[in-house]
Structure 1
Amino acid sequence: MRSCLKLAGVAVLALMVAACDEAQQSDASAQQQPQATPVGTVTLEAQTVGLIEEMPGRTVAFRKAAVRPQVDGIIKERNFTEGAFVEAGQQLYMIDQAVYMAELDAAQAELAKQRATLDQTTKTRTRYESLVKTQAVSEQTFDDAISAEAQAKAAVAAARAQVDQARINVEYTTVTAPISGQISSSDVTEGALVTANQEDALTTITQLDPIYVDVTQAGGRLLKIKQAIQNGRIQGVENGKIEVALIIDATGVEYPHTGTLQFSDVSVNETTGTIRLRAVFPNPDGVLLPGMFVRGQVRQGKLEGAFLVPQKAVMRRPDGSAYVYTIGDGKVVSKDIQIEQSQGENWLVTDGVEDGEQLIVDGIQRIAPGAPVTAEPVESANAAQGSAQ
């Protein structure tokens, strides 16, 4: 009986030891298994995103005309207010006309004289024409009459040209605005002597509405965009019309009117590797002045199936390639991405991620590929950063 009791006690003790060992092994296993790290995530959504390229630029006058005299003379009048708006054809200066009026009178008198001579030679030729038939005058005399009439006609034409020239000179004494626009200060005053086609301008007229804006873009970037438009990857460019928004550097405020891209240069700048693009903007209030520094936001179509990824979620390797962390089966997955451009606080990504994926945006420093994580959703990328459609 005692032997049985002893055997039973040994068995119970063995069971207890085994249970204790199993518990210790379970605790050790639990300690070795890493804890899931909480991370902030957003759900990626594929969308149609407008391509907006921001480029530096400057404003350029739509038209600019330097006003110079076309005849010599003394300035008698100045008929405009400096800095005012002038219309095309409006009188700006009056040059003394006395000399040119006298030349016009002389040219008209010469024309009258030559016309009288032509009338006389025509009558003589007509009279000789009937007499030569009866041999009352010689053939030579008749030929001389014909020649005299032709010379008289030429003299009348030359005199008429002199009259036209004199009349033009008289008209040139009234200096008018060649274009409509804002006129600058006058560089001459009444009583000043001016000469025809002098180097110094009397004043300058600048047309400000509309106005040009010249911006620059990397030549390679423009080529990629054109190729994407041709193969249909970029949509929304109709008839080559590309809209441009404008931000004024001095104030940082967006210009209220939208412009249209007119053309691009046919060559790339060898020094900078950029190409010049020219847009035209309405400028009814004269806010934009030539020479202002601006930033043009060129809307170069729309890209379908793209993703707006917060810039803080994107990391780069030493070779410059970009990647992000997403969650797959509760673990961190590293994915290489293709970045098209930046848009505000986002990167526009065209490849490497999928619709509906959980993108890790917070807690990146505490994790590595393959590490278990717990997703804690934050505001969506679209709500937090805004769409660029």
Structure 2
Amino acid sequence: MQIRLSAHCRTGVLVLTVALAACSHDKKSEQKKIQSVSVQTVKTVPYAQSVSLPGRTTSYLTSPVTPQVTGVIQKRLFTEGGVVRAGQVLYQIDPAPYQAAYDADKADLEKAQAALLSAKPIAERDRSLAAIDAISKETLEEAEATLKQDEATIDADKAALESARINLGYTRVVAPVTGTISASAYTPGALVTADQTTPLATIYSYDPMYLDVTQSSTDVLALRKKLADGSVKTDANGNAQVKITLEDGTTYAHEGTLQFAGVGVDPTTGTITLRVIVPNPEKLLLPGEYLHAVVEQGIDQNAILVPQQSVTHDQRGNATALIVDAQNKVEQRSLTLAGTADNNEWVVTNGLADGDRVVVAGSQYASVGDTVNPVPVADGAAATSDAAPAMATAAASSAASATAPAAAASN
């Protein structure tokens, strides 16, 4: 059976619908006005300042092993990948031709020395005879010239013999430094030359290691000032001491020393390359690893730290945060950050002051200019969890109000 409502009844239903909608709107407005947000009151605290500089490790020494003479390798006398000592024989090049050259030069020297033994008394005798005019002046000059020539021949033969001795010694290729040696690029039987560019092997010294890091020229200047005023921890030589963070995030057992090795600013990046010397007795560090050098820069007695979740970044990358003012209204602040602390907090250098209340949770339910109910961060979890059910309740009431006229009309 179809039910028709009179005009009077239809007017009443319309009024009821409008009233319910207005009530729902009032409830939403009321819910928005009483929205609770979790806040943390800013307090200045002592904070140990530090800067983390990323970089890669390089060997303290890298020494290529190259032949100094030409010849055939007879033996390889080391274990690839092992530790070798400075002066240790690594390769033996066939010494036979160099031994023969040494023996020949030695014989030439002995021959020249024998000639000198004969020329010296002749020259002395001719000097005595020339003093009494027993011989001509030309005869004396010839004898002295022969003596000087024999002496010069001896000097030349000595130099040739020394060169032959050096070349003979070069047939024993020794390690120039102590370190870990790479795989050999040549095997016994291979011909090597004195002027080749390819090394036979390469020796790396891993203790200590270099860590090359980069820092902006502005930050380097600030660090130098902190070193000058004594706020940065230094060693006995006045070099800044640094802690090393490994690739897995753990702290390395040994502290390094920061060396200001940069001699200029990179014009494209505005950075300076600095060098850290890191002890590596356990050989834990290897060349090419990506590490961080953490430089402690003193203690700021009035530092401001805020939770990371309370800070957002706009489209330009600027840091911002929501603040609840004395009238419980929400405002937005622009912040200047100086990095992160160890407990997931931002270090704020500008934009906040002692006593400011920063929104740490519930900011999605509040906009700039809204009046809110600030709940201290200790109760923030409850405030945040209660906010969503409250909005859900308001939405449910609105939905119920919207369906009421339809139900009335169907009746």
TM normalised by structure 2 equals: 0.73
CA distance 1:260–1:115, shift in 2 (3 Å): same
1:378 counterpart letter in structure 2: A
Q: Which residue of 2 aligns with 1:178?
A: 176
Q: Which residue of 1 aligns with 2:72?
A: 74
2:39 counterpart letter in structure 1: G
Q: Which residue of 1 aligns with 2:148?
A: 150
Query: What is the Cα-based RMSD across aligned positions, in Å?
Result: 3.1
Q: Which residue of 2 aligns with 1:348?
A: 347
Answering whether residue 106 of structure 2 is matched by residue 108 of structure 1, we say yes
Q: Which residue of 2 aligns with 1:282?
A: 279
CA distance 1:112–1:126, shift in 2 (3 Å): same
The C-alpha deviation readout for 1:88-127, integer Å capped at 9, x for no partner, is 1111111122221221111111111111222222222222
C-alpha displacement of 1:313: 1.9
C-alpha displacement of 1:315: 4.1
CA distance 1:41–1:252, shift in 2 (3 Å): closer
Q: Which residue of 1 aligns with 2:295?
A: 299
CA distance 1:200–1:224, shift in 2 (3 Å): closer
Q: Please give the alpha-carbon distance, in whole angstroms, between the structure 2 residues aligned to 1:36 and 1:78.
A: 81
Contact 1:211 1:282 (8 Å CA) reproduced: yes
1:257-268 to structure 2, matched below 5 A, reads 257-268=254-265
The C-alpha deviation readout for 1:263-283, integer Å capped at 9, x for no partner, is 343334444444333222222
C-alpha displacement of 1:168: 0.8
C-alpha displacement of 1:155: 0.8
Q: Which residue of 2 aligns with 1:376?
A: 376
Q: Please give the alpha-carbon distance, in whole angstroms, between the structure 1 residues aligned to 2:174 and 2:116.
A: 38
Answering whether residue 308 of structure 2 is matched by residue 311 of structure 1, we say yes
Report the 3-state secondary structure (helix = DSSP H, G, I; strand = E; otherwise coil) of the residue aligned with 2:44.
coil
C-alpha displacement of 1:317: 5.4
C-alpha displacement of 1:353: 2.9
Runs of at least 5 residues in structure 1 that lack an aligned partner in the other structure: 1-30, 381-389
Runs of at least 5 residues in structure 2 that lack an aligned partner in the other structure: 1-29, 381-411
Q: Which residue of 1 aligns with 2:246?
A: 247
Q: Which residue of 2 aligns with 1:386?
A: none
CA distance 1:245–1:226, shift in 2 (3 Å): same
2:378 counterpart letter in structure 1: V
CA distance 1:236–1:110, shift in 2 (3 Å): same
The C-alpha deviation readout for 1:50-80, integer Å capped at 9, x for no partner, is 222242x322122122212211222222211
Higher percent of residues as helix: 2
C-alpha displacement of 1:178: 0.9
Q: Which residue of 1 aligns with 2:39?
A: 40
1:301-340 to structure 2, matched below 5 A, reads 301-304=297-300, 305-316=302-313, 321-326=318-323, 329=326, 331-332=328-329, 335-340=333-338
CA distance 1:379–1:150, shift in 2 (3 Å): farther
| Stretch of structure 1 that moved more, 356-365 or 104-113 | 356-365
Contact 2:239 2:259 (8 Å CA) reproduced: no
Contact 2:243 2:251 (8 Å CA) reproduced: no
| Stretch of structure 1 that moved more, 161-170 or 219-228 | 219-228
| Identity rate, percent | 34
Q: Which residue of 1 aligns with 2:81?
A: 83
C-alpha displacement of 1:327: 5.0
Q: Which residue of 2 aligns with 1:51?
A: 50
Q: Please give the alpha-carbon distance, in whole angstroms, between the structure 2 residues aligned to 1:351 and 1:183.
A: 53
1:267 counterpart letter in structure 2: G
1:50 counterpart letter in structure 2: Q
Q: Please give the alpha-carbon distance, in whole angstroms, between the structure 1 residues aligned to 2:272 and 2:170.
A: 42
Q: Which residue of 2 aligns with 1:169?
A: 167
Report the 3-state secondary structure (helix = DSSP H, G, I; strand = E; otherwise coil) of the residue aligned with 2:90.
strand
CA distance 1:85–1:319, shift in 2 (3 Å): closer
CA distance 1:236–1:58, shift in 2 (3 Å): closer
